[in-house]
Each structure stands twice: as structure tokens, then as C-alpha cells.
Amino acid sequence: MELTRVRFLRASNIKQVEDEGGRPRVVFVEPEFSTRTFDRVIYALGGTTPSNFLRTLGIAFNDQRPLFDEAGATNVPGLYLIGDLVVGKKGGSIITAFNPAVHAMKRICMHDLACQSRLLRD
């Protein structure tokens, strides 16, 4: 699969995500963002861990924390958590976001997309 473009929809809020033939169809809260279907969605959140939202997505929890592996992969296929979503109450830093993001990108590339990029090899 070849990705041709990335869209950043800042100041948007997702109301719901529906399945449209295996692709995420996103309904936004704001009327200026029309409902649209994507190949992939990366939803960046700020502040505290949105536990209720993550549970709604089907992510498994251990006590009060979401479960994920060393690459940030959750029990939901293709759904990764990185940055502040994985550090808990101690808070994060830019390094907490970048380092796990590299691990997540490598896993996505090698396992989910089956790409063979020189840049993502160890």
C-alpha cells in the first residue's frame, strides 16, 4: 500500500468512528469537518489519559492503566499508544513521545504494512 498524503486536522474532535469496509469512517463534532473515510487514523490527545475513551475503543486495561507492549501495540489490531498515554501520572516529555514512536513506527512498518524501509531498520 502506498500512502500518498497525510492530513492534520488540528482543533478537531472525533465524535465517533464507524467501520466502512474495514476502513475508519470518522464523524467529527465540529460542522466544518465533514464526515470522511480514511485509510489510517492517528488521534493525538493531550492532558490526562482518556481512560473512558480508550475503553470505548476496546483497549484492555490492567487496573487503571491501558495494556500495551514494548512497541505501544494494544489488544486492538493496528491501535498503538505512545507518549503521555503510556507514562501514567508521572507525566511525559518529548523523549517519552519520540522514543516509543520510533518503536511503534518500526512495528507498523514491518508487521502492519510490510514495508522494507532502510530508515526503519535497526
Centre a 10 Å sphere on the Cβ of residue 102 and count the other Cβ atoms it contains.
Answer: 12
What pTM value is reported for the model? 0.57
- Grid cell for residue 48: 490526562
Residue with cell 486536522: 9
CATH of region 46-120, choose from 3.40.50.460, 3.10.310.50, 3.50.50.60, 3.40.190.10 = 3.50.50.60
Domain spans in the chain, listed from the N-terminal domain onward? 1-43, 46-120
User: How far apart are alpha carbons 39 and 68 in whole angstroms?
Assistant: 23
Could you tell me which of 40, 79, 39 has the C-alpha nearest to residue 58? 79
Residue 117 pLDDT level (bands cut at 50, 70, 90): low
User: Can you give the pLDDT at residue 45?
Assistant: 65
Q: Which whole number is the average pLDDT over 51-60?
A: 88
Instruction: Identify which of 117, 30, 104 has the alpha carbon closest to the alpha carbon of residue 69.
Output: 104
Residue 14 phi, psi (nearest 5) = -85, 125
Least confident piece of the model among 48-52, 63-67, 103-107: 48-52
